[in-house]
Amino acid sequence: MEFVRVEVGDGVATIRLDRPKMNALNAQMQRELIEAAREVTQDDAVSAVILYGGDRVFAAGADIKEMAGMSYAQMAGGHSRLLQDFAKALAGIPKPVIAAVNGYALGGGLEVALTADFRVAGENAKVGQPEIQLGIIPGAGGTQRLARLIGPARAKDLIFSGRHVPAAEALEIGLVDKVVPDAEVYQAAREWAATFVGGPAIALRAAKQAIDAGWEVDLGTGLEIERTQFAALFSTEDQKNGMRSFIEEGPGKATFTGR
């Protein structure tokens, strides 16, 4: 891949956005993100994933020069689906995912970060959905994932105004989960990701799927999703090992195999 790199070490995969200078998300980069999501999903050596744009910028948005001349037919016929598909691929990674955000995460950049389970931001990071200033709206999930994360009123504030939100406010409204000095963003995400290495991978996947799928349905359906996932875990080695260890040694001492 030209604009996206996947680096794996110590059980953690980093999906690195690498299209200088601002990591503008053109169609090729979006397709490469789909491939990167597939790669880390299929790699059993990967327990957790970090989305990272570098120490200066996460991603300043979609490639406006590429989109500016597109017609309705071109956008409706394929490109709008690609926008949704790459974000769905990232959101569908069945492992804990942490976005490490330095600098700007705007428009499509914030939509990438919204696909993660958690977001760590630098003190000087700025996030937002400024598409309204271009006469459009977010198209890679921003209207949906942002509203589900911070509530519809706050999402409308950000989307209607297009304003840039500083890290401190993003933390206050729940748009990011942790703010650290800029130089420590990737390391903080790495330390967080490391807590999932060696954990019960199948149970983590089941928990993520149950929460994400349950969010989209009524409570009764969500409870049925949970029940099905819960019962299925009793067919795993990790469940046997975890409960045996709890009985014999007490909590927190089990060794998991991911099977």
All domains of the chain, ordered by start, with CATH?
Answer: 4-194 (3.90.226.10), 201-249 (1.10.12.10)
Which helix (H) or strand (E) segment is 36 a member of?
A: helix 27-42
- 19 is written with which tokens? 């299209």
Residue 69 has a pLDDT of 87
**The one catalytic residue among 39, 66, 123, 131:** 131
Q: Is 224 annotated as catalytic? A: no
Phi, psi values for residue 12, rounded to 5°: -115, 130
- Within 43-79, where are the H helices? 64-68, 72-74
Per-residue confidence of the chain (259 residues) as pLDDT tens digits?
899 999 999 999 999 999 999 999 999 999 999 999 999 999 999 999 999 999 999 999 888 888 888 889 988 888 888 989 999 999 999 999 999 999 999 999 999 999 999 999 999 999 999 999 999 999 999 999 999 999 999 999 999 999 999 999 999 999 999 999 999 999 999 999 999 999 999 999 999 999 999 988 999 999 999 999 999 999 999 999 999 989 999 888 888 988 8
Q: Is 7 annotated as catalytic? A: no
**The one catalytic residue among 35, 39, 111, 249:** 111
Nearest in space to 202 (alpha carbons), one of 176, 240, 174, 165: 240
Residue 45 has a pLDDT of 94
Q: Which residues contact 31 (CB under 8 A, 6 or more apart)?
A: 82, 86
The three-state secondary structure class of 81 is helix
Give 122's strand partners.
180
Q: Cβ of 150: how many Cβ atoms within 10 Å?
A: 18
Give this prediction's pTM: 0.93
Residue 66 has a pLDDT of 86
Can you tell me the distance from the alpha carbon of 82 to that of 70, in angstroms, rounded to the nearest whole number? 14
Can you tell me the distance from the alpha carbon of 254 to that of 111, in angstroms, rounded to the nearest whole number? 37
Residue 63 has a pLDDT of 85
